[in-house]
């Protein structure tokens, strides 16, 4: 077993995606409110800020950060207009808001339209500069592995937005060098604009991360294990996925039927061709992990079990019923990965159907898994794996995740009488709707887990209206935002004292 625990590894953190930050521009961004949130984390003695994937989102996919056109590129909607003005790409007049954005939700269509206009203005200024910043060319060179393909993909999609990439003209679909070069020459400016916006994002991100480090805050990022079929990654690296000669998926990913769904879940993502990946030395994955480790201090791998064995569903099947478990190359892949990145700071999302081979793999490599407290009161209280007395140090405890209801929402609308009774008996005192979130926060912070992560919604004691995502639904998700006045001195003092008392300060 590889020991990946660090000295003074006992810590606390907050789960909040960038889009949920306040701002006057309709969506959270990398600007002043992000810096103020780092201040909040510092003042409450938190050492981690966990976010969701930063990759591009699309209206068509319900703005889900786990369904993206790129595993490498960033979501330009998170670019800060304030910083664009500060950096000289826009003027203060350019970013004046003359429309009313919702304060507690993200209206993605409205935000997209507004920021699209700003990006046009910013790029026009960039385009006119005779001597462009050296940092721009350095960025393009450092990110050449993915940036050229992504920028071309973006422009191709804008030219034919209703067509999946494998329905493009054959020579472009198959990336014939002459055809691709001719297209890039014809659309040089549009491609440059896509690169410029990525450059701006990553410049702003680097500044925010530096500020977090200066304040003792580490960023915990998120890597979705799968990529969307209609993405730059599958177009540019189709050989590492199980596709047929028409570049259509042969199999897609999902999970088998279970207690929650008699037909399972058919996610539709293409599955990896691990034999081909092994032949390449897992080059694409190595680049992906290297890229993420530049952005984050630690990373969570979503659906970690898919590295060990994937539920493969024939692409022609409408449900997940006729899928099968297909073994990956987890031992060889993770051995290769950890040899290249010896101190690999991975957290394995091990929720759902976890078989002994997944546990064995996590144990061998020393990767911590996840414990979710809102799941902890529905079984045998002596043996339940999510109750703190049944786990050790090398794990991450959450009150809930972005896929769950808030603690208040769970207690009010989902917890059965038996679960509520177990909850009360476990903590040894009465629990009310108002007190439930902080009772579970205290359980999490006082547990033996090295890391305790609390969704901001639970710190604020919010109900179901503040839920981030309802799995299996396609509307109304990923929209919640908090109002800045909710981070009161009372909240700061309470969280700081409880974090200190539970010995989770650096």
**What is the domain count for the chain?**
1
Give Cα 253 distance to the centre of its chain: 18
Q: Tell me if residue 349 is catalytic.
A: yes
| Contact yes or no for 458/440 (Cβ under 8 A) | yes
Q: Look-up: residue for tokens 């990006």?
A: 119
Residue 329 burial class via C-beta count within 10 angstroms: exposed 0-12, middle 13-18, buried 19 and up: middle
Q: In the structure encoding, which two tokens stand for residue 352, read together? A: 């759902």
Residue 162 has a pLDDT of 77
Q: Minimal CA–CA distance to 443: which of 433, 432, 434, 454?
A: 454
Q: Look-up: residue for tokens 């026009």?
A: 124
Q: Minimal CA–CA distance to 162: which of 230, 114, 108, 107?
A: 230
| Contact yes or no for 273/285 (Cβ under 8 A) | no
Q: Tell me if residue 403 is catalytic.
A: yes
Residue 472 has a pLDDT of 81
Q: How far apart are the C-alpha atoms of 350 and 370, rounded to whole Å?
A: 6
Range of the domain at 458: 11-501
Q: How far apart are the C-alpha atoms of 26 and 101, rounded to whole Å?
A: 5
| Contact yes or no for 13/49 (Cβ under 8 A) | yes
The answer to the question of residue 266 being in a domain is yes
Residue 506 has a pLDDT of 67
Rg for the chain (alpha carbons), in Å? 23
Q: How far apart are the C-alpha atoms of 374 and 158, rounded to whole Å?
A: 43
| Contact yes or no for 44/495 (Cβ under 8 A) | yes
Q: How far apart are the C-alpha atoms of 197 and 80, rounded to whole Å?
A: 11
Q: How far apart are the C-alpha atoms of 468 and 63, rounded to whole Å?
A: 12
Q: How far apart are the C-alpha atoms of 69 and 88, rounded to whole Å?
A: 29
The answer to the question of residue 55 being in a domain is yes
The answer to the question of residue 33 being in a domain is yes
Residue 473 has a pLDDT of 86
- Residue 193: CB atoms within 10 A of its CB come to 21
The answer to the question of residue 286 being in a domain is yes
**Annotated catalytic residue within 148, 222, 349, 450:** 349
Residues 6+ apart with CB under 8 A from 15: 50, 51, 398, 401, 402, 453, 454, 455, 456
Q: Look-up: residue for tokens 């703190």?
A: 388
Q: Look-up: residue for tokens 């200190």?
A: 500
- Residue 194: CB atoms within 10 A of its CB come to 23
Side-chain-facing half-sphere of 171: CA atoms under 13 Å:
8
The domain that holds 137 is classified in CATH as 3.20.20.80
Residue 357 burial class via C-beta count within 10 angstroms: exposed 0-12, middle 13-18, buried 19 and up: middle
Q: Over its length of 506 residues, how does the chain's per-residue pLDDT go in tens digits?
A: 566 656 558 999 999 999 999 999 999 999 999 999 999 999 999 999 999 999 999 998 899 999 999 999 999 999 999 999 999 999 999 999 988 999 999 999 999 999 999 999 999 999 999 899 999 999 999 999 999 999 999 999 998 877 899 999 999 999 999 999 999 999 999 999 999 999 999 999 999 999 999 999 999 999 999 999 999 999 999 999 999 999 999 999 999 998 778 999 999 999 999 999 999 999 999 999 999 999 999 999 999 999 999 999 999 999 999 999 999 899 999 999 999 999 999 999 999 888 999 999 999 999 999 999 999 999 899 999 999 999 999 999 999 999 999 999 999 999 999 999 999 999 999 999 999 999 999 999 999 999 999 999 999 999 999 999 998 888 999 999 999 999 999 999 999 999 999 999 96
Q: In the structure encoding, which two tokens stand for residue 136, read together? A: 């721009």
Q: Tell me if residue 421 is catalytic.
A: no
| Contact yes or no for 423/429 (Cβ under 8 A) | no
Q: How far apart are the C-alpha atoms of 478 and 236, rounded to whole Å?
A: 28
Q: How far apart are the C-alpha atoms of 10 and 348, rounded to whole Å?
A: 17
Q: In the structure encoding, which two tokens stand for residue 361, read together? A: 């793999």
Q: What angle do CA 396, 460, 465 make, to 5 degrees?
A: 100
| First and final C-alpha spacing in the chain | 26
The answer to the question of residue 481 being in a domain is yes
Longest dimension (CA), the chain: 72
Per the document, the length of the chain is 506
The answer to the question of residue 447 being in a domain is yes
Q: Minimal CA–CA distance to 447: which of 486, 391, 376?
A: 391
The answer to the question of residue 342 being in a domain is yes
**Annotated catalytic residue within 39, 403, 412, 446:** 403
Residue 3 has a pLDDT of 65
Q: Minimal CA–CA distance to 459: which of 429, 416, 430, 493?
A: 493
**Annotated catalytic residue within 58, 190, 302, 412:** 302
| CA torsion through residues 275, 280, 281, 286, sign | negative
The answer to the question of residue 5 being in a domain is no
* Cα dihedral 228, 232, 237, 243 in deg (nearest 10): 40
């Amino acid at each position: 077993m590889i020991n990946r625990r660090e000295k003074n590894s006992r810590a606390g953190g907050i789960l909040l995606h960038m889009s949920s930050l306040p701002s006057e521009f309709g969506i959270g961004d990398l600007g002043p409110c992000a810096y103020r949130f780092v201040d909040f984390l510092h003042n409450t003695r938190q050492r981690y800020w966990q976010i969701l994937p930063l990759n591009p989102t699309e209206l068509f996919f319900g703005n889900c950060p786990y369904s993206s056109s790129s595993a490498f590129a960033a979501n330009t909607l998170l670019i800060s207009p304030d910083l664009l003005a500060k950096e000289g790409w826009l003027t203060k007049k350019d970013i004046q808001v003359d429309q009313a954005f919702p304060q507690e939700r993200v209206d993605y269509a409205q935000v997209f339209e507004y920021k699209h206009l700003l990006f046009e203005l910013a790029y026009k200024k960039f385009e006119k500069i005779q001597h462009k910043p050296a940092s721009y060319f350095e960025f393009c060179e450092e990110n050449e592995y993915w940036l050229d393909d992504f920028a071309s993909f973006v422009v191709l999609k804008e030219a034919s937005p209703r067509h999946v990439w494998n329905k493009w003209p054959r020579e472009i679909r198959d990336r014939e060098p002459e055809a691709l070069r001719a297209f890039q020459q014809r659309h040089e400016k549009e491609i440059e604009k896509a690169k410029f916006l990525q450059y701006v994002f990553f410049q702003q991100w680097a500044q925010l991360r530096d500020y977090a480090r200066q304040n003792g805050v580490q960023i915990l990022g998120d890597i979705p294990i799968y990529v969307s079929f209609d993405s730059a990654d599958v177009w540019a690296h189709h050989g590492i996925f199980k596709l047929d000669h028409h570049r259509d998926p042969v199999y897609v990913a999902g999970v088998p039927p279970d207690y929650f769904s008699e037909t399972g879940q058919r996610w539709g993502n293409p599955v990896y061709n691990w034999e081909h990946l092994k032949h390449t030395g897992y080059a694409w994955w190595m680049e992906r992990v290297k890229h993420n480790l530049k952005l984050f201090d630690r990373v969570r791998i979503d659906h970690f079990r898919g590295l060990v064995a994937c539920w493969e569903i024939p692409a022609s099947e409408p449900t997940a019923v006729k899928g099968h478990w297909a073994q990956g190359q987890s031992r060889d892949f993770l051995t290769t990965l950890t040899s290249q990145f010896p101190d690999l700071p991975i957290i394995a999302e091990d929720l759902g159907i976890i078989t002994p081979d997944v546990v064995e793999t996590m144990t061998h490599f020393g990767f911590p898994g996840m414990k979710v407290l809102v799941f902890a009161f529905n079984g045998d209280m002596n043996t339940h794996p999510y109750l703190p007395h049944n786990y050790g140090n090398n794990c991450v405890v959450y009150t809930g995740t972005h896929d769950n209801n808030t603690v208040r929402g769970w207690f009010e609308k989902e917890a059965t009488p038996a679960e509520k009774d177990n909850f009360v008996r476990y903590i040894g005192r009465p629990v009310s709707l108002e007190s439930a979130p902080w009772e579970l926060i205290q359980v999490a912070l006082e547990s033996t887990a090295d890391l305790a992560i609390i969704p901001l919604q639970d710190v604020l004691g919010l109900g179901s209206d503040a839920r981030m995502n309802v799995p299996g639904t396609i509307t109304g998700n990923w929209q919640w935002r908090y109002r800045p006045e909710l981070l009161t001195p009372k909240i700061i003092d309470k969280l700081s004292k409880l974090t200190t008392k539970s010995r989770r300060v650096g």
